[in-house]
Amino acid sequence: MIDLPNDLRLALLQCPSLPLDVPANLARLDAFAAQAAAAGAHLLVTPEMFLTGYNIGGPAAAVLAERPDGPRAQAVAAIARQHQIAIAFGHPEHDDVGAIFNAAQCIDAQGQMLARYRKTHLFGDLDRGMFSPGPGDEPLFSFHGWQLGLLICFDVEFPENTRRLALQGADLIVVPTANMEGFDFVAQHLVPTRAYENQLFVAYANFCGSEGDLVYNGLSCVAAPNGTGLVQAGRGAELLLADVTRAGLAAGRALNGHLALCRTPPQKL
């Protein structure tokens, strides 16, 4: 682990999707969690819908959807405990009345669920053909003394989502994503802008390669509160490491006063 207890080392997994092969994805997660933990990471972030694949269609999403505390979450918890690393991961989830959601969870190094989130802004026919929108009212959660929020992919492209979390006091927003070629602007410019305007860190973990007719653009990144990119991946598979620090958070917040000067109240999603 890095020396200062209030600093965090993040590991972002950028890899191809393996659709419909949950056992293989859990095996990959186990291997990458071991690698990330050996590198001193506190938190491993996977892409959107990592455990099942993203471009799987409505019928498959319905079959594979589980409760938040289902077998997949328990398997991830066992991996987290084994390697003593927190894991943020994506998969399809259903509620008590059968609605299906594009979901993300964060499980700590002791295997306890810290938070879960359901995607609010559904991208195109692909998302809308599989999922219902989430409520967008999930609270922040505490991790190693930091306040964290979760978003998923397209959600970060709407400023209301990041501003809602920032006004609650978020220090870091974790974003599992499945962004595609043609949208490089998001990782290269929009994510740093979200970090700058909200005075926080944003960690954005994407797929690479192709999945069916989708070609993912990689470019996973961590952006700092001053708008700079701490790290950015290329187009291929990579385990990206980044240290987010209290000093960097304070310096970014000293640079501008956007949140204190904001006169528009947060809008209900």
153 in active site: yes
Amino acid identity of 25? N
Select which of 119, 138, 157, 211 is catalytic.
119
Identify which of 269, 238, 257, 245 has the alpha carbon closest to the alpha carbon of residue 16: 238
Phi and psi for 103 in degrees, rounded to 5? -120, 160
119 in active site: yes
User: At 37, is the secondary structure helix, strand, or coil?
Assistant: helix
How large is the C-alpha radius of gyration of the chain?
17
Identify which of 41, 148, 170, 38 has the alpha carbon closest to the alpha carbon of residue 104: 148
| Cα separation, 127 vs 123, whole angstroms | 5
| Cα separation, 223 vs 202, whole angstroms | 5
Q: Are 199 and 170 in contact (CB under 8 A)?
A: no
208 in active site: no
Select which of 153, 197, 211, 221 is catalytic.
153
Select which of 15, 48, 93, 197 is catalytic.
48
Catalytic residues, which ones?
A: 48, 119, 153
